Structure 1
Amino acid sequence: MDIQKIRRDTIGCEQLIHLNNAGAALMPAVVANGIRDYISAEETGGGYETADKYSAELDQFYTYMAKLLHCRSENIAFTTNATDSFNRALSAVPFKQGDVILTTENDYPSNFIAFISLQKRLGIEIVTVRNTPSGETDLEDLEQKINTLQPRLVSVTHVPTSSGLVQPVAAIGNITKRYDTLYLLDACQSVGQLAVDAIATGADFISGTFRKFLRGPRGAGFLYISDKALQSGLEPLFPDLRGAEWTGIHAYTHREDAKRFEDWETAFALMAGSTAAIKYLLDIGIQEVQTRNETLTAYLRHQLGNVPGVQLQDKGKHPCSIVTFSIANQEPERFKQYFKQHGVNIYTTARSSAIIDFTQKGIEWVARVSPHYYNTEAEIDRFMQLLTAIA
């Protein structure tokens, strides 16, 4: 991996130290240029006409995304963000009153909010699976509850936003596929930093976003739909003329592929940028990215462990590129702004994003530092220098 070339490709590296990749990573120039070029073409040529002109290039989005996830292009849909992807999948599940959603204690806050909304509207039940001592989902408890409760849906967040935990998603998939339940995987914090094989996970749906570790634009996401889910006729609650054809006064026919989950009105400029982001990652290699990230985060965690007053809060046997810690006698917003004033971007996560997890840990907030492969050890040293000065 040519780190210096990658940093030259990343204009933001010239101005700051960006350690908030779990929030929104710095885009490579090729991504931003792809968006600008498409917008310019729309400006001078018209929106519909530009989409027609660039149709072959836009179709590459599905090819590249499928290559990254090891699936077919027909399994991929373009969306506006991870929550949009997740909710489109969730809306396809034929819930009835009394149905159970089985989820983890570390699911994404937006997902819990959606579940609670379904509970209020439809009377479904939300049940969580207990954790192992190391923090991952307890697979024995998962299978026992699937056996007992016969959930309509199992929902898992691959990497929670509040810690570096990595869930055993393939092992979970091996269990769920033995039962009559659907499996929805939120991969918004894992795709782009970890190798994710959609088929190996056994998931029926995988939702994700581009702004995080994929280094794409905000306002762009993806949704994977398995062959099983497509063939069984699952569709979003509100398809439009992109995903279905109106065939009679009271009838429509949905598409055969994953595009049945898309809308007619699409931000094609952002799709062009997202395509460039996937290609950029594929050219580097996701395994190389994962290895580089493991080196950076191990270096960071080792140094944090030596700072008085700092308590690492990550769980899991193999934590990833999200590093969280609590620190005594600090206020979260002021703490974040201190680093920003010194040219370093980090983030803080409040209890409202991880109520179950933070209640168990007895904390109200964490600092979240999320390096990515274009960061350097020297940047981590600078962060540590600033941290030590106020710890």
Structure 2
Amino acid sequence: MNTDLLRQDTAGLRQGLFFNSAGASLMPRPVVSAMVEYLQQEEQLGGYAVEQQRTADLERLYTELAILLNARPHNFAFAWNATDAYNRALSAIPFRRGDVILTTDDDYISNHIAFLALRQRFGVEVRRARNLPDGDLDLADFEQQLRQHRPVLVAVTHVPTNSGLVQPVEAIGRLCRQSDTWYLVDASQSVGQLRVDVQQLGCDFLNAPGRKFLRGPRGTGFLYISDRALQAGLAPLFIDRRGADWVAADAYQPHPEGRRFEQQELGGTVLGLAEAVRYANAVGIDQIAARTRELHLQLRQLLSRQPHLRLLDRGSEQCSLVTFDAPGRALEDLTQLLNAHKVAYTVSRRSFAILDFDRKGVDWAIRFSPHYFNTAEELEQVVSILATLRH
């Protein structure tokens, strides 16, 4: 791992125990500097002029994403957040009444709501593959439903927001390639902490935000679109003038590349996201993945030694989202304690993941997501803070 980069961007910034668990990780200094510089130029010259002058810099986003995810620059589109990217992909599927979406119990809350909205408006059927007793996806059931229902879309969240579970998206991709179905992967919690290779996944669409493990700015995200989807002519329902040309009074022509999924108004946040992806590439995604694995395994071990806390993550493969509760204690007991010690965390509630939380029999969970800039000493310190709840 490039420790020089880490020393440069974290020195003097943290005033507490910061994790990636509040939804937006600490941004590296080069990310902030790139956006501030761009905004200052807009102050002097105006948005259109700066966009024209900085076209090459803005285009770096697609080059860096291609390096990170093993694709080509033309396969990517900028979006305003992960859900925005996800919905643009969903809108490109020409659903008809009776079409089937096959998903899992562990998909993101907004995705489940979108599926239900499609069912309500268009009569789309939503099917969920079951889980095994250990929490893993039952791939045999998934394959059986794939063959029986012949879904138009398979949609799977790589890592749920409410759990450290890692779903077998590569194995699902192999099954999808044997069927005539579109495959959408929500990689919001995995891009930036795990190696995500779209060629290995075999997906047609993949979305993620700039914040979280990529350490980019809020209000940014991206969508990957496969060559297969582009060549089939898939395009968002509400296509923007950036994504299409108005070629006649009653006709438009979508852009041939992933840009057809973009909208107008690109600026400094795009540059910030480009810098965040470049930064991740410079540190090295394999080194990042190894470091986050080391940290989350250590954190789970430390938490497991606290008899008043209960780890909630299931599945044979887990990652750097660590969830737990404290049976018999109120949520406020934990949040007040963590806030008093400036520990960053996220609360997941039952309404965020009804299927998962009802299966676990919990109403809430605290989530920590240690990232590569965290230290072993910080993990020990936060667990020692939680240990005081026993008294």
**TM-score of the pair, normalised by structure 1:** 0.97
Does 2:253 correspond to 1:247?
no
Bigger mean CA deviation after superposition, 176-185 or 333-342: 333-342
Which amino acid is the alignment partner of residue 109 of structure 1? Answer: I
Letter in 2 for 1:312: L
Give, in whole Å, the separation in 1 of the partners of 2:231 and 2:302: 50
**SS of equivalent residue, structure 2 residue 223:** strand
Separation (CA, whole Å) in 2 of partners of 1:13 and 1:53: 32
- Separation in 1, partners of 2:333, 2:238: 43
After the TM superposition, which of the residue ranges 16-25 and 247-256 deviates more from structure 2? 16-25
The answer for the alignment partner of 2:343 in structure 1 is: 344
Matched residue, 2:156 = 156
Query: Residue in 2 aligned with 1:116?
Result: 116
Q: Does 1:292 align with 2:288?
A: no
Q: Deviations over 1:22-47 (max 9, x none)?
A: 61110011111111111101110110
In structure 1, list runs of 5 or more residues that go unmatched. none
CA distance in 2, matches of 1:249, 1:46: 32
Q: Deviations over 1:125-181 (max 9, x none)?
A: 111001123322211111110111111111000000011000111110000111111
- Work out whether 1:301 is the aligned partner of 2:304: no
Aligned to 2:348, the other structure's residue is in SS state strand
User: Shift of residue 99 of structure 1?
Assistant: 1.0
Superposition map of 1:1-391 within 5 A = 1-3=1-3, 5-10=5-10, 13-21=13-21, 23-266=23-266, 268-391=267-390
Residues 291-346 of structure 1: CA deviation (Å, up to 9, x unaligned) = 01111111111111110121111112121000011212333345224212212111
Stretch of structure 1 that moved more, 120-129 or 10-19: 10-19
The alpha-carbon distance between structure 1 residues 83 and 333, as it changes in their structure 2 partners (threshold 3 A), is farther
Taking the aligned partners of 1:334 and 1:249, their CA distance within structure 2 comes to 63
Q: Secondary structure at the match of 1:241?
A: coil
1:13 Cα offset (Å): 4.0
Residue 157 of structure 2 aligns with an amino acid whose one-letter code is T
Whole-angstrom distance in 2 between the partners of 1:347 and 1:225: 31
> Are 1:22 and 1:213, in contact at CA under 8 Å, matched by a contact in 2?
no
Distance 1:12 1:328 in 2: 37
Instruction: State the distance in 2 between where 1:339 and 1:326 align.
Output: 13
> What secondary structure sits across from 1:213 in the alignment?
helix
Q: Aligned partners of 1:225 and 1:134: how far apart in 2?
A: 33
Give the distance between the partners of 1:36 and 1:363, measured in 2 at CA. Answer: 43
The whole-number CA distance in structure 2 between the counterparts of 1:22 and 1:144 is: 38
Q: Deviations over 1:87-133 (max 9, x none)?
A: 00000011011111110000000001111111111111111001123
SS at match of 1:103: strand
Indicate the SS of the match to 2:212: coil
Query: For residue 299 of structure 1, what is the amino acid of its counterpart?
Result: Q
**Alignment check: 8 A CA contact 1:192 1:213 kept:** yes
Cα displacement (A) at 1:369: 0.7
Amino acid at match of 1:47: G
In structure 1, C-alpha distance between the alignment counterparts of 2:201 and 2:331, rounded to whole Å: 36
In structure 2, do the counterparts of structure 1 residues 333 and 99 end up closer, same or farther at CA, with 3 Å as the change threshold? farther
> For residues 259 and 337 of structure 1, do their structure 2 counterparts lie closer, same or farther at Cα, with a shift above 3 Å needed?
farther
Name the aligned partner's letter for residue 314 of structure 2. K
**How well do the aligned residues superpose, as a CA RMSD in angstroms?**
1.3
Structure 2 vs 1, CA of residues 313 and 133 (structure 1 numbering), >3 Å: closer, same or farther? Answer: same
Following the alignment from structure 1 to structure 2, what is the Cα–Cα distance between the partners of residues 103 and 370?
25
Q: CA deviation at 1:52?
A: 0.6
Cα deviation for residue 7 of structure 1 reads: 4.2
User: Aligned partners of 1:334, 1:93: CA distance in 2, in Å?
Assistant: 46
The answer (yes or no) to whether the contact 2:71–2:199 under 8 Å persists in 1 is yes
Give me the whole-angstrom Cα distance separating, in 2, the residues matched to 1:48 and 1:11: 36
CA shift for structure 1 position 48: 0.4
Q: Quote the offset at 1:11 in angstroms.
A: 5.7
Q: Gaps (5+ residues) in structure 2?
A: none
Aligned-partner SS, 2:214: coil
**How many pairs were matched up?**
390
SS at match of 1:238: coil
Alignment check: 8 A CA contact 2:83 2:110 kept: yes
Q: Percent same amino acid among aligned pairs? A: 47
- SS of corresponding position for 1:95: coil
* Separation of aligned partners in 2, 1:333 and 1:22: 17
Q: Give the 3 Å change call, closer, same or farther, for CA 362–192 of structure 1 in structure 2.
A: same
Report the Cα distance in structure 1 between the residues aligned to 2:194 and 2:187, rounded to whole angstroms.
10
Question: Residue 325 of structure 2 aligns to which amino acid in structure 1?
Answer: S
Residues in 1 aligned to 2:159 and 2:148: alpha-carbon distance in whole angstroms: 27
Contact 2:22/2:344, CA 8 A, preserved across alignment: no
Q: Deviations over 1:251-276 (max 9, x none)?
A: 0000000000000123x111111111
